[in-house]
Amino acid sequence: MSPDGPLRCPRCRKVAVEAHAPFCSAACRDRDLLDWLEERYVIPGPPLEDSDAGPDGAAPPQ
Ligand SMILES: [Zn+2]
C-alpha cells in the first residue's frame, strides 16, 4: 500500500479524478456499473424471435 500514491482507475489504470473516484471518468464509471449489473442480473437466454402470430401483427390465415 502506498499512502500517497494516486488512486488508479480499476478499468483503465489511469489516475482517478475525485469527481468520479475511484474511476478516471464518468465513462469508466458507467462502464463498470454496466458490467456489474450484467453480472448480477444475468439475461436469461437470447431474446425471443418474432413468431408468425404476433400480438400486434396480422394473424396467419387458417
Ligand atoms: Zn478509466
pLDDT in tens, 9-61: 999 999 999 999 999 999 999 999 999 998 887 767 777 777 676 566 666 77
What backbone torsions phi and psi does residue 8 show, to the nearest 5 degrees?
Answer: -110, 140
- Could you tell me if residue 24 is inside a domain? yes
Asked if pLDDT for residue 1 goes beyond 60, the answer is no
Domain that residue 7 falls in: 1-43
In a domain, 20, yes or no: yes
Judge whether 58 lies within some domain. no
Residues with CB under 5 A from ligand 1 (ion): 9, 11-12, 14, 24, 28
More confident residue, 5 or 26: 26
- 60 within a domain of the structure (yes/no): no
Residue 59 lies in a domain: no
Domain count for the chain, please give it.
Answer: 1
Phi-psi domain of 35 (left: phi exceeds 0; alpha: psi -120 through 50; beta: other): alpha
Residue 45's pLDDT is 77
- Distance from Cα 41 to the centre of ligand 1, integer Å: 23
Q: Is the pLDDT of residue 2 over 70?
A: no
Query: Radius of gyration over alpha carbons of the chain, in Å?
Result: 22
**Residue 35: inside a domain:** yes
Distance 19 CA to ligand 1 centre (A): 12
Q: How many A from CA of 6 to the centre of ligand 1?
A: 13
